[in-house]
């Protein structure tokens, strides 16, 4: 079944344009409620959001949809995506909903849904919800059976304590100065609290959301300011989150950036030494650096690659009993603790190794030398340029040039109208040439 509403990470689009309109989101809530109503107990859904202006439009539409179906709603306000997943399980709720477009700018928004187990919905659940949205005859609650909505005032405190419990017992962050970039997003209150309560000196930045500045020149997708502030403040480490705090990028004491591959390599090798690592390796994606894969091989571990999207990583982890996985972009899933990417819990695992070793972050966290990798995005307006003979020929030629010592990946984005072209290999000039040729061919094809 082709998808009309759901993409690789929930429903996403421009705010106040289909499908991110009040009327469609209302119907989405009703369909999700119909799908997850089970038994005669009082049903509950947890709704959180990030700091986008359009959240004020979508939150009441979702609330109305669930209430009209007889579901109670716990509104937690601005809260990280992993916090909503945790609260859904903790409260024994029937659904969790996050209003967020994650790392995108404020113009976009989206809806992410979590089942009662705290995991993102399966393809089958999403397909059933889509069918109900288009064809469903909803069983509305009677006048006396309507749901109720309430503000959950202690949600932030619950989440802060949950995250802190993932840090090794008896260990503290005393003596560390940490720059925390909250992307003017959902974690702008809870993230600084976590590190401060564990003893660190915290320099919070991008913690003044105004509805329009989420992810704007800040956060995990643009950590340059965070890197500068680490050096300016003489900090030991910088921690950058994205708008819904499920992505993590770190800077060392010199302001040098460390991505998700480096952080997974650090955590996995540390857990392997402790006998904690499960599955014999790490679940990454097709975007993970070849240097990461080579490093894991030197310590007897495997890198299993899935399609891009943290949901696919999680599905493989669950199916094959891995406990470390994630994406180069900074989604890191540690399912000993959480059911989805959690930037704060991942950051604490990194800080645990730094604290234990007592050495600078640049020495502890730069675990492998990345293979030169280049990613370029090509916008297109409809059509299927990847099916063109000229593009296929350019891709085949690139694969031949890179040979066995490199990788080439071309894929359409699941969240925006672009084609991503990525190549990696030991010769950066060759990588640049291969990517440039394919990008130019796609552009010519798309324009014709």
CATH code of residue 308: 3.40.120.10
| pLDDT confidence of residue 448 | 72
Q: Number of structural domains, the chain? A: 4
27 found inside a domain: yes
Q: Within this chain, do residues 342 and 270 fall inside the same structural domain, yes or no?
A: yes
CA 373 – CA 288 distance, rounded (Å): 10
| pLDDT confidence of residue 403 | 93
Q: How do residues 286-299 score in pLDDT, each as one tens digit? A: 999 999 999 999 99
Q: Within this chain, do residues 252 and 264 fall inside the same structural domain, yes or no?
A: no
Sheet holding 72-78, edge to edge: 6-7, 10-14, 108-114, 95-99, 44-49, 72-78, 149-151
Domain boundary at 206, 222, 256, which? 256
CA 283 – CA 341 distance, rounded (Å): 13
Cα dihedral 268, 272, 275, 279 sign: positive
Q: What is the mean pLDDT of residues 147-172?
A: 98
37 found inside a domain: yes
Domain boundary at 330, 364, 398, which? 364
**Do β-strands 257-258 and 248-251 pair in parallel, antiparallel, or remain unpaired?**
antiparallel
| Residue 116 predicted with pLDDT over 80 | yes
| pLDDT confidence of residue 415 | 66
1 found inside a domain: no
| Residue 343 predicted with pLDDT over 60 | yes
| Residue 447 predicted with pLDDT over 80 | no
The overall longest dimension of the chain from CA atoms, in Å, is: 69
Catalytic annotation, residues: 102
Q: What is the mean pLDDT of residues 106-128?
A: 96
Q: How do residues 379-399 score in pLDDT, each as one tens digit? A: 888 778 899 999 999 999 999
CA 385 – CA 85 distance, rounded (Å): 38
Q: How do residues 32-66 score in pLDDT, each as one tens digit? A: 999 999 888 999 999 999 999 999 999 999 999 99
383 found inside a domain: yes
- Ordered DSSP codes for 387-401: GSHHHHHHHHHHHHH
Sheet holding 281-285, edge to edge: 302-306, 281-285, 325-326, 332-333
Helix ranges (H only) for 107-154 are: 123-135
| pLDDT confidence of residue 313 | 96
Average pLDDT over all residues of the chain: 95
| Residue 9 predicted with pLDDT over 90 | no
Domain boundary at 241, 256, 271, which? 256
145-154: b (≥16 Cβ within 10 Å) or e: ebbebeebee
Q: Within this chain, do residues 315 and 345 fall inside the same structural domain, yes or no?
A: yes
CA 432 – CA 439 distance, rounded (Å): 11
Q: Within this chain, do residues 34 and 150 fall inside the same structural domain, yes or no?
A: yes
Q: Within this chain, do residues 169 and 286 fall inside the same structural domain, yes or no?
A: no
In terms of residue numbers, what domain contains 190?
165-256
204 found inside a domain: yes
Q: What is the mean pLDDT of residues 261-265?
A: 98
| Residue 237 predicted with pLDDT over 60 | yes
| Residue 1 predicted with pLDDT over 50 | no
Q: Within this chain, do residues 151 and 266 fall inside the same structural domain, yes or no?
A: no
Q: Within this chain, do residues 52 and 186 fall inside the same structural domain, yes or no?
A: no
CA 432 – CA 437 distance, rounded (Å): 9
267 found inside a domain: yes
419 found inside a domain: yes
Q: Within this chain, do residues 17 and 131 fall inside the same structural domain, yes or no?
A: yes
160 found inside a domain: no
Q: Within this chain, do residues 272 and 351 fall inside the same structural domain, yes or no?
A: yes
Q: Within this chain, do residues 399 and 435 fall inside the same structural domain, yes or no?
A: yes
Q: CATH no. for residue 378?
A: 3.30.310.50
Q: What percent of the chain has pLDDT over 70?
A: 99
Q: Within this chain, do residues 232 and 276 fall inside the same structural domain, yes or no?
A: no
Q: What is the mean pLDDT of residues 335-364?
A: 97
Q: Provide the whole-model pTM.
A: 0.92
Q: Within this chain, do residues 211 and 267 fall inside the same structural domain, yes or no?
A: no
Q: What is the mean pLDDT of residues 304-312?
A: 92
């Amino acid at each position: 079944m082709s998808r009309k509403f759901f993409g690789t990470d929930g429903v996403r689009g421009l705010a106040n344009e289909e499908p991110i309109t009040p009327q469609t989101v209302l119907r989405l809530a009703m369909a999700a409620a119909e799908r997850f109503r089970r038994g005669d107990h009082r049903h509950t859904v947890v709704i959180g959001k990030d700091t986008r202006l359009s959240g004020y439009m979508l939150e009441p539409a979702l609330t109305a949809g669930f209430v009209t179906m007889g579901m109670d709603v716990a509104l937690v306000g601005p809260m990280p995506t992993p916090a909503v997943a945790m609260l859904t399980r903790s409260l024994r709720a029937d659904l969790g909903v996050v209003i967020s477009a994650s790392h995108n700018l404020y113009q976009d928004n989206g809806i992410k849904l979590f089942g009662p187990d705290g995991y993102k919905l399966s393809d089958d659940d999403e397909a059933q919800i889509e069918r109900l949205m288009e064809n469903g005859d909803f069983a509305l609650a009677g006048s006396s059976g309507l749901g109720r909505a309430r503000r959950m005032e202690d949600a932030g405190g619950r989440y802060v304590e949950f995250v802190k419990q993932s840090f090794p017992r008896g260990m503290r962050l005393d003596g560390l100065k940490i720059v925390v970039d909250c992307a003017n997003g959902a974690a702008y209150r809870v993230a600084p609290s976590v590190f401060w309560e564990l003893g660190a000196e915290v320099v919070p930045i991008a913690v003044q959301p105004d509805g329009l500045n989420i992810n704007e020149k800040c956060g995990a997708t643009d950590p340059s300011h965070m890197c500068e502030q680490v050096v300016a403040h003489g900090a030991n480490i910088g921690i950058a989150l994205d708008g819904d705090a499920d992505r993590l990028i770190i800077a060392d004491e010199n302001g040098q950036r460390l991505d998700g591959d480096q952080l997974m390599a650090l955590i996995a090798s540390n857990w392997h030494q402790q006998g904690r690592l499960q599955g014999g390796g790490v679940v990454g994606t097709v975007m993970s650096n070849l240097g990461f894969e080579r490093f894991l091989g030197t310590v007897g571990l495997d890198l299993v690659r899935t399609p891009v999207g943290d949901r696919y990583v999680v599905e493989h982890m669950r199916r094959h009993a891995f406990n470390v996985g994630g994406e180069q972009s900074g989604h890191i899933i540690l399912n000993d603790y959480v059911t989805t990417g959690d930037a704060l819990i991942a950051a604490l695992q990194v800080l645990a190794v730094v604290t234990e070793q007592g050495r600078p972050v640049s020495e502890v966290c730069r675990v492998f030398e990345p293979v030169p990798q280049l990613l370029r995005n090509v916008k297109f307006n409809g059509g299927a340029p990847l099916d063109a003979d000229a593009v296929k020929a350019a891709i085949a030629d690139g694969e031949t040039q890179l040979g066995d010592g490199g990788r080439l990946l071309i894929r359409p984005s699941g969240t925006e109208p672009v084609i991503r072209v990525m190549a990696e290999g030991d010769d950066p000039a060759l990588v640049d040439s291969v990517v440039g040729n394919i990008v130019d061919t796609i552009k010519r094809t798309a324009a014709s």
